[in-house]
Structure 1
Amino acid sequence: MATTEDIYQLYLQHPVISTDTRKIAPGSLFFALKGDKFDANTFAEKAIEAGAAYAIIDNPAYALGQKYILVADGLTALQELATHHRRQLHIPIIGLTGTNGKTTTKELINAVLSQRFNTLATEGNLNNHIGVPLTLLKITAEHEMAVIEMGANHQREIALLCSIAQPSHGLITNVGKAHLEGFGGVEGVKKGKGEMYDYLTPQPPEGDAFEKHNGVAFINSDDAVLMAMKDERGLSSVIYYGKNDHSDNIVSGKLLDSSPLLILEWKDNLEGGTYTVATHLTGAYNLDNILVAIAVGSTFGLSPEEINAGVAGYEPKNNRSQILHTANNTLICDFYNANPSSMFVAIENMDKMQSGHKVLILGDMFEMGDESAAEHAAVLQKAREANVNERIFIGKDFASVSPTADESLTADKPTFYLTAEDAMVGLKRNPITNATVLIKGSRGMALERLVALF
């Protein structure tokens, strides 16, 4: 069996990792990972034929020569290789997690830090037990910073990812209602996300396996939940940011405009200057994400001009709060994912937006478990109370909590479709024009199919 050091020596010679035989990079190391419906050991020979220098396998039946490196478990070998590589690096690594806003925050921080530093950040949403190791193994001697996004739908996942990435700095964007089925409710979400703070704490909880790290935490001082979580753990190295006048905030800020793109004013509370920046982001809820990016930039010595250049230059292209102007409408494309917390703030944003005809198109939220009916009903009620002109709901979960016959006679009667296909038929029959339209739902609803109808 090959050791982690054995594989690391091969990695130094072949510092590109492949896990998909359809995308083999010549001279790479191919890790044969198992999935629910496949065993990549069966593709090891194909990987070598496609140009991989070595194949890391965990089934001796597929060891066909010296280019096949046998390990006890392919995924564990990948994770241990990434951890070993991380230990050789002497750069700041910022780890971030949270219920909402992780990817947008990661992109904003990367955009700001990249104004001065050679920064590597998680690509897309490669934020799980495979994506985090793959991201770490892309860090080279030329990189001066790294921003690592960490996602989870069960407890102890963030703990695992922190043990691999070993962040020197960390943040939790927020704690809300998402993956309730996997986490076991809201308290489970809080505990799971709190594993980021557990890793950074100078003294881990009694009986916990964490080492002492005493990392730096960026914390939104407006967020009572995060502040309480900080106090519970005794975090000592904290950098605060927020909208309020908290005396310890390194930066604070407020929105000047949000219809629909955000313009904000922020203050450098260390130097005393006040600055304005126009963004390509929509949604008042993104103010917190922008402020933490500003706080990170300020912490690492970037000038206000560099920080503003990074914030202003970031354009979302990942269906997260992305503005799309068509010939007939303005779309807010926010259909990468959805949960009750993100639904509420998105609806509130539409409620406050100064616009003409406003339309909500909301799709089912997945992984809600036993809370599904109650949470879909709450979102439905929130939408019906919002200052918008039309409300369209898509999916069986929303349909299951649709109004009774008497309620459906009210003037604000919402429209329900069981599937996205049904919605497409309905929208073709009754097209929407001259409107601002929010399209939001869980990724599995594939609501991007609606865009062509606007």
Structure 2
Amino acid sequence: MTIETLYEHFLKCKSVCTDTRNISENCMFFALQGGNFNGNKFAEDAIKNGASFAIIDDIEYKINDQYLMVDDVLIALQNLALFHRKHLNTPIISLTGSNGKTTTKELVNAVLSKKYKTTATKGNLNNHIGVPLTLLSMNNTTEIGIVEMGANHQKEIEFLSNIALPDYGLITNFGKAHLEGFGSIEGVIKGKSELYQHLKVNSKIIFVNHHDELQIKQVGAYDHIEVFGSKTQLLESQPYLSLSYEQQTIKSHLTGSYNYNNVCVAIALGEYFKVSTKDIVDAIENYIPSNNRSQIVNQNGHQIILDAYNANPSSMLAALSNFNQLKNENKVVILGDMFELGETAPEEHQHISDYTSDLKLKNAIFVGENFYNIKSKNSNSNYFKSFEDLNAHFGNFNFNQQLFLIKGSRGMALERVLNLI
């Protein structure tokens, strides 16, 4: 089937779906395959539940003309997204980085949606499947598209950029994330900077914070740069972040000074796209973080900084540094393993453990095999091999009106600790 024919069918549909649990009326279902599943087997269910078409790559599952055969469903999804992107008269902003991508994307969307009809990546659907799905969720009414791009190896950002074809781009930061795939911090910088290379080759606009010398160095000599960050000043981050902007004080619901740059990005893009100062301030002040990202939760007399969506050595150190500055004598950290660090995992977990032991904490709790394997004899530190082990012993701590920091990689799912506190 040609991409032109597939596109004609796509235009007849209201949406695109890859999961039969989320089928909606008149959607186009893509029967993706994975290591443990064959989406072709679910094509019939998708049609029965309201899908207009099912895109399959196994002739055995073709029942009638609603089942559209392609050579490879994933490649068809990606090619359709690129074809659609080329037909959209919509400016696309792409962003990547080691930390803060999703929060930054949400802030940018909050600001720009004050003036424009925006379509942004949902959640963190930022990979080789999520980016195409984001693009295919846009239509001719979308005035600005915001596409988050994640990567754990070289050439992935390049690949995603060649699908999204961004007009504007930015990198939140370079940090020690996905070292198993990137190999080193130098590998991270090279991989993330593939977005810069794409934008430069196509003479598109790059946004870069004037405080970030490393990023400015990576951009190099280039004519289409928007430098930002000089109009704002960090005022406070205990526990909520506030900053000055245009002779006003913005009081956010975000915790941590590490979110300051994320807010600056949203302000810069708001200014560039001529959103009023009032609307920029209003959007940031009314943005409330969710999904376990920099949330502040008050529960049973405790205050909890819940930052359990993900973690890597850079974001962990930033969170601990910020937590250390908070004025409270009853501070407890509950930290989970950091994943995808490869052979550097023992060293990086040891570094976090050592750093934590130097802080004035009531207690430090480490969860996961990586931390357990490097456990120290610090009297204030407790190590548990799994969440189940922590669960079995949590009642022994007898916490009373504590300030908690909870952080770990997604696979640790440390938001479950809320049920224990």
Please tell me the TM-score bracket, short chain as reference. Answer: over 0.9
Could you say which residue in structure 2 is the equivalent of 1:373? 346
Of 177, 198, 209 in structure 2, the residue corresponding to residue 220 of structure 1 is 209
- Which AA in structure 2 matches 1:196? L
Shift of 1:230: 0.9
Q: Is the 8 A contact 1:178 1:189 kept in 2?
A: yes
2: CA distance between counterparts of 1:425 and 1:433?
A: 19
Deviation sequence 1:144-178 (CA, Å, 0-9, x none)? 11111111111111111111111100000001101
Partner secondary structure for residue 434 of structure 1: coil
Q: Is the 8 A contact 2:90 2:140 kept in 1?
A: no
1: CA distance between counterparts of 2:65 and 2:194?
A: 41
1: CA distance between counterparts of 2:242 and 2:324?
A: 18
Alignment of 1:10-159 (within 5 A): 10-159=9-158
Matched, 1:430 2:397: yes
Of 357, 360, 367 in structure 2, the residue corresponding to residue 384 of structure 1 is 357
Of 349, 353, 371 in structure 2, the residue corresponding to residue 398 of structure 1 is 371
- What is the RMSD computed on CA atoms of the aligned residues? 1.3
Partner secondary structure for residue 48 of structure 1: helix
Matched, 1:307 2:307: no
Corresponding pairs, count = 421
Partner secondary structure for residue 52 of structure 1: coil
Alignment of 1:177-192 (within 5 A): 177-192=176-191
1: CA distance between counterparts of 2:207 and 2:338?
A: 29
Shift of 1:388: 2.8
Could you say which residue in structure 2 is the equivalent of 1:320? 293
Matched, 1:421 2:408: no
Shift of 1:59: 1.4
- Which AA in structure 1 matches 2:353? L
Q: Is the 8 A contact 1:15 1:137 kept in 2?
A: no
- Which AA in structure 2 matches 1:261? Y
What's the TM-score once normalised by structure 2's chain length? 0.97
Could you say which residue in structure 2 is the equivalent of 1:276? 249
Deviation sequence 1:247-291 (CA, Å, 0-9, x none)? xx4xx322222211111112xxxxxx3221110000110000001
Shift of 1:352: 1.0
2: CA distance between counterparts of 1:426 and 1:47?
A: 45
Shift of 1:453: 2.0
Shift of 1:89: 1.4
Of 231, 236, 256 in structure 1, the residue corresponding to residue 223 of structure 2 is 236
Could you say which residue in structure 1 is the equivalent of 2:236? 257
- Which AA in structure 2 matches 1:226? Q
Shift of 1:235: 3.1
Q: Is the 8 A contact 2:362 2:380 kept in 1?
A: no
2: CA distance between counterparts of 1:441 and 1:384?
A: 17
Shift of 1:387: 3.4
- Which AA in structure 2 matches 1:240? V
Q: Is the 8 A contact 1:275 1:304 kept in 2?
A: no
2: CA distance between counterparts of 1:133 and 1:433?
A: 48
Partner secondary structure for residue 153 of structure 1: coil
- Which AA in structure 1 matches 2:234? L
Shift of 1:390: 1.8
- Which AA in structure 2 matches 1:238? I
Matched, 1:441 2:414: no
Partner secondary structure for residue 324 of structure 1: strand
Partner secondary structure for residue 37 of structure 2: coil
2: CA distance between counterparts of 1:428 and 1:140?
A: 52
- Which AA in structure 1 matches 2:205? V
2: CA distance between counterparts of 1:402 and 1:359?
A: 17
1: CA distance between counterparts of 2:350 and 2:209?
A: 30
1: CA distance between counterparts of 2:398 and 2:120?
A: 40
Q: Is the 8 A contact 1:83 1:164 kept in 2?
A: yes
2: CA distance between counterparts of 1:32 and 1:90?
A: 29
- Which AA in structure 2 matches 1:264? L
1: CA distance between counterparts of 2:316 and 2:248?
A: 31
Q: Is the 8 A contact 1:352 1:387 kept in 2?
A: no
Could you say which residue in structure 2 is the equivalent of 1:453? 420
Shift of 1:386: 2.3
Deviation sequence 1:52-73 (CA, Å, 0-9, x none)? 1111111122222211111111
2: CA distance between counterparts of 1:387 and 1:217?
A: 41
Partner secondary structure for residue 380 of structure 2: coil
Q: Is the 8 A contact 1:259 1:355 kept in 2?
A: no
Q: Is the 8 A contact 1:150 1:158 kept in 2?
A: yes
Partner secondary structure for residue 7 of structure 1: helix
Q: Is the 8 A contact 2:329 2:361 kept in 1?
A: no
Shift of 1:22: 2.0
Partner secondary structure for residue 331 of structure 1: strand
- Which AA in structure 1 matches 2:157? I
Q: Is the 8 A contact 2:57 2:73 kept in 1?
A: yes
Could you say which residue in structure 1 is the equivalent of 2:164? 165
Q: Is the 8 A contact 1:350 1:388 kept in 2?
A: no
2: CA distance between counterparts of 1:433 and 1:236?
A: 57
Deviation sequence 1:18-56 (CA, Å, 0-9, x none)? 111222112111111111111111222222222211111
